Amino acid sequence: VYLNPEKADQLIWLRARVHTSRAKGKQCFLVLRQQQFNVQALVAVGDRASKQMVKFAANITKESIVDVEALVRKVEQKIESCSQQDVELHIERIFVISQAEPRLPLQLEDAVRPDGEGEEEGRATVNQDTKLDNRVIDLRTTTSQAIFRLQSGVCQLFRDTLTKKGFVEIQTPKIISAASEGGANVFTVSYFKTSAYLAQSPQLYKQMCICADFDKVFCVGPVFRAEDSNTHRHLTEFVGLDIEMAFNYHYHEVIDSITDTMVQIFKGLRDNFQTEIQTVNKQFPSEPFKFLEPTLRLEYTEALAMLHEAGVEMGDEDDLSTPNEKLLGRLVKEKYDTDFYVLDKYPLAVRPFYTMPDPSNPKYSNSYDMFMRGEEILSGAQRVHDAQLLTERAMHHQIDLEKIKAYIDSFRYGAPPHGGGGIGLERVCMLYLGLHNVRQTSMFPRDPKRLTP
Amino acid sequence: VYLNPEKADQLIWLRARVHTSRAKGKQCFLVLRQQQFNVQALVAVGDRASKQMVKFAANITKESIVDVEALVRKVEQKIESCSQQDVELHIERIFVISQAEPRLPLQLEDAVRPDGEGEEEGRATVNQDTKLDNRVIDLRTTTSQAIFRLQSGVCQLFRDTLTKKGFVEIQTPKIISAASEGGANVFTVSYFKTSAYLAQSPQLYKQMCICADFDKVFCVGPVFRAEDSNTHRHLTEFVGLDIEMAFNYHYHEVIDSITDTMVQIFKGLRDNFQTEIQTVNKQFPSEPFKFLEPTLRLEYTEALAMLHEAGVEMGDEDDLSTPNEKLLGRLVKEKYDTDFYVLDKYPLAVRPFYTMPDPSNPKYSNSYDMFMRGEEILSGAQRVHDAQLLTERAMHHQIDLEKIKAYIDSFRYGAPPHGGGGIGLERVCMLYLGLHNVRQTSMFPRDPKRLTP
- Over residues B27-50, the mean pLDDT reads 93
Q: Do B164 and B132 meet the contact criterion of CB atoms below 8 Å apart?
A: no
What is the rounded distance in angstroms from the CA atom of residue B246 to the CA atom of residue B415? 9
Question: Among residues 387-426 of chain A, which lie with CB inside 8 Å of chain B?
Answer: 406, 410-417, 425
Q: What is the pLDDT of residue A147?
A: 98
What is the rounded distance in angstroms from the CA atom of residue A421 to the CA atom of residue B112? 33
Q: Compute the half-sphere exposure of residue B388: CA atoms within 13 Å on the CB side of its CA.
A: 5
- Over residues B114-133, the mean pLDDT reads 86
Residue A133 distance to chain B (closest CA, Å): 10
Q: What is the pLDDT of residue A181?
A: 60
Grade residue A122 by pLDDT with cuts at 50, 70 and 90: confident
What is the rounded distance in angstroms from the CA atom of residue B172 to the CA atom of residue B230? 28
pLDDT of A2 over the 90 cut? no
Closest by Cβ to B17, choosing from A237, A412, A414 = A414
Grade residue B122 by pLDDT with cuts at 50, 70 and 90: confident
Q: How far is CA B384 from CA A8, A447, B409, B420, in A?
A: 37, 31, 13, 12
Closest by Cβ to A413, choosing from B136, B145, B169 = B136
Top pLDDT among A184 and A387 is at A387
Residue of B nearest to A406 (CA): B453
What is the rounded distance in angstroms from the CA atom of residue A73 to the CA atom of residue B414? 27
Asked if A137 reaches chain B (Cβ–Cβ under 8 Å), the answer is: yes
Give the percent of chain A with pLDDT over 90: 90
Radius of gyration of chain A, Cα coordinates, nearest whole angstrom:
27
Substitution target from B95, B187, B213, B382 for chain A, most A beta carbons within 10 A: B213
The pTM for the full model equals 0.96
Q: Which of A98-112, A171-185, B319-333, B370-384 has the lowest mean pLDDT?
A: A171-185
pLDDT of A265 over the 80 cut? yes
Q: At what angle do helices B142-164 and B274-283 cross, to 10 degrees?
A: 140
Substitution target from A21, A36, A98, A134 for chain B, most B beta carbons within 10 A: A98
* Cβ within 8 Å, pair A416-B15: yes
Burial A310-322 (b: 16+ CB within 10 A, else e): eebeeeeeeebee
* Cβ within 8 Å, pair A412-B100: yes
Q: Which of A109-118, A158-167, B165-174, B335-344 has the lowest mean pLDDT?
A: A109-118
Residues of chain B with Cβ-Cβ distance to A169 below 8 Å are 152, 155-156
* Cβ within 8 Å, pair A386-B101: no
Distance of CA A335 to the CA centre of its chain: 28
Q: What is the pLDDT of residue A1?
A: 55
The mean pLDDT value of chain A amounts to 95
Asked if A131 reaches chain B (Cβ–Cβ under 8 Å), the answer is: no
What is the rounded distance in angstroms from the CA atom of residue A368 to the CA atom of residue A377? 11
* Cβ within 8 Å, pair B416-A15: yes
> Of residues B69, B109, B227, B317, which has the active-site annotation?
B227
Q: Do A420 and A242 meet the contact criterion of CB atoms below 8 Å apart?
A: yes
Q: What values do phi and psi take at B305, rounded to 5?
A: -60, -40
Question: Among residues 8-37 of chain B, which lie with CB inside 8 Å of chain A?
Answer: 15, 17, 34-35
Q: What is the pLDDT of residue B116?
A: 77
Q: What is the pLDDT of residue A400?
A: 87
User: Hey, how many other C-beta atoms are within 10 angstroms of the C-beta on B79?
Assistant: 16
* Cβ within 8 Å, pair B212-A177: no
Name the 3-class secondary structure at B53. helix
Our answer to whether residue B233 is catalytic in this structure is yes
pLDDT of B287 over the 70 cut? yes
What is the rounded distance in angstroms from the CA atom of residue B147 to the CA atom of residue A292? 39
Name the 3-class secondary structure at A267. helix
Active-site amino acid positions of A? 225, 227, 233-234, 376, 379, 427
Our answer to whether residue B253 is catalytic in this structure is no
pLDDT of A182 over the 60 cut? no
Q: What is the pLDDT of residue B125?
A: 86
What is the rounded distance in angstroms from the CA atom of residue B374 to the CA atom of residue B324? 9
pLDDT in tens, B220-239: 999 999 999 999 999 999 99
What is the rounded distance in angstroms from the CA atom of residue A211 to the CA atom of residue A217? 11
Q: What is the pLDDT of residue B4?
A: 84
Residue of A nearest to B386 (CA): A98
- Over residues B157-168, the mean pLDDT reads 98
Grade residue A183 by pLDDT with cuts at 50, 70 and 90: low
pLDDT in tens, A333-354: 999 999 999 999 999 999 999 9
- Over residues B325-341, the mean pLDDT reads 98
Global ipTM: 0.96
Q: Which of A171-180, B161-170, B241-250 has the lowest mean pLDDT?
A: A171-180
- Over residues A236-255, the mean pLDDT reads 98
Residue B285 distance to chain A (closest CA, Å): 24
Question: Among residues 239-298 of chain B, which lie with CB inside 8 Å of chain A?
Answer: 239, 248
Q: What is the pLDDT of residue B118?
A: 75
* Cβ within 8 Å, pair B451-A176: yes
pLDDT of B260 over the 90 cut? yes
What is the rounded distance in angstroms from the CA atom of residue B18 to the CA atom of residue B32? 5
Q: What values do phi and psi take at A135, rounded to 5?
A: -60, -35
Residue of B nearest to A185 (CA): B192
Residue A57 distance to chain B (closest CA, Å): 16
- Over residues A408-427, the mean pLDDT reads 97
- Over residues A387-391, the mean pLDDT reads 97
Residues of chain B with Cβ-Cβ distance to A2 below 8 Å are none
* Cβ within 8 Å, pair A35-B215: yes
pLDDT of B198 over the 60 cut? yes
Q: Do B394 and B352 meet the contact criterion of CB atoms below 8 Å apart?
A: no
Asked if B95 reaches chain A (Cβ–Cβ under 8 Å), the answer is: no
Q: What is the pLDDT of residue A5?
A: 87
What is the rounded distance in angstroms from the CA atom of residue B345 to the CA atom of residue B250? 13
* Cβ within 8 Å, pair A152-B145: no
The contacts of residue B436 (CB under 8 Å, 6+ apart) are B232, B284, B430
- Over residues B72-99, the mean pLDDT reads 95
Closest by Cβ to B98, choosing from A98, A163, A385 = A385
pLDDT of B182 over the 70 cut? no
